[in-house]
Amino acid sequence: MEQLLQEMEDYAVQQHIPIINVRGREMFLHVVRECRPHHVLEIGTAIGYSTLLIAMNAAANVHITTFELDEARAQIAESYLQRSAYAQCIDIRIGNAGEELCKLAGSFDFVFIDAAKGQYVDYFHKILPLLSNNAVVLADNVLFRGYVLGDGKPPRRYRTIVKRLREYIELVGHMPGFVTDIYENGDGLAVSRRIEHDKQA
Ligand SMILES: C[S@@+](CC[C@H](N)C(=O)[O-])C[C@H]1O[C@@H](n2cnc3c(N)ncnc32)[C@H](O)[C@@H]1O
């Protein structure tokens, strides 16, 4: 499996495909291992690198539903994941997550948000009814190159993304029933842990 991961990393570098940042990976894996999820939802498959990492570190009988907008990337993900021991546990769905999430049913105990950064607030609202009582939602890139919580003014082309990521942090930071931690690792990870209903209040 390590060889497959390495091959995917090399491909991502060659083809300039963004995959989970090497500096954020350890914290990402720590959160997955802590959660040991059975039912996973991923938004933003790319070539399936984070999908495979989740599968390797989740519960033995994990099932992962993962969304990817770009058909070519989804096909590459499919071909990589077919070579892993987890092909049967992973369901890659091609489409716009913003639309597809509205049609999704189920109860997920771990959600990894790693797609259109301007849409995280929308994704969160749409996944809320799909979360189990003790679900964990991990969102990548929430500090976006240091512009989100920093004093520096972002370049004009990033202003909307930065504004929307601030809105996401504000949303999850004040969401009743959740405790959110922001980690500076990599490009910034927001980990929102749902407090079990019987432990609230
Ligand atoms: C940062 S990459 C995902 C990397 C992957 N999670 C990993 O770490 O290996 C983001 C992916 O989200 C996809 N994406 C962007 N907008 C999307 C949308 N609205 N619905 C589904 N996928 C989307 C992009 O095509 C891209 O492949």
Of residues 52, 51, 93, the one with CA closest to residue 70: 93
Total count of domains within the chain? 1
pLDDT band at 150 (very low <50, low <70, confident <90, very high): confident
In a domain, 201, yes or no: no
Which has more pLDDT, 103 or 196? 103
In a domain, 164, yes or no: yes
What's the chain's average pLDDT? 94
- Whole-prediction pTM value? 0.95
pLDDT for the residue 23 = 86
In a domain, 137, yes or no: yes
Q: DSSP assignment, residue 189?
A: E
Residue 200, pLDDT above cutoff 80? no
State what percent of residues in the chain have pLDDT above 70.
97
Q: Is 113 helix (H, G, I), strand (E, B) or coil?
A: strand
Q: Which residue out of 68, 80, 113, 122 has the highest number of ligand 1 atoms within 8 Å of its CB and is therefore the one to mutate?
A: 68
Q: Is 140 helix (H, G, I), strand (E, B) or coil?
A: strand
Q: What is the largest CA-CA distance in the chain?
A: 50
Structure tokens given for 166: 């601030």
71 close to ligand 1 (CB < 6 Angstrom): no
**Domain extent for 151:** 2-196
Q: What is the DSSP string of 48-68?
A: SHHHHHHHHHS-TT-EEEEEE
Chain position carrying tokens 């060889």: 3
The atom of ligand 1 lying closest to the CA of 20 is 8
Chain position carrying tokens 């948000």: 113
186 close to ligand 1 (CB < 6 Angstrom): no
In a domain, 86, yes or no: yes
pLDDT tens digit string along 70-125? Answer: 999 999 999 999 999 999 999 999 999 999 999 999 999 999 999 999 999 999 99
Give the mean model confidence (pLDDT) for residues 140-168: 89
Residue 196, pLDDT above cutoff 70? no
Q: Is 97 helix (H, G, I), strand (E, B) or coil?
A: helix
28 close to ligand 1 (CB < 6 Angstrom): no
CA atoms of 40 and 58, how far apart (whole Å): 9
Give the mean model confidence (pLDDT) for residues 17-45: 95
Contact 179, 195 (CB under 8 A): yes
CA atoms of 83 and 85, how far apart (whole Å): 7
Give the mean model confidence (pLDDT) for residues 171-176: 96
In a domain, 156, yes or no: yes
Q: What is the CATH number of the domain that holds 52?
A: 3.40.50.150
Q: Are strands 189-194 and 131-140 parallel, antiparallel or unpaired?
A: antiparallel
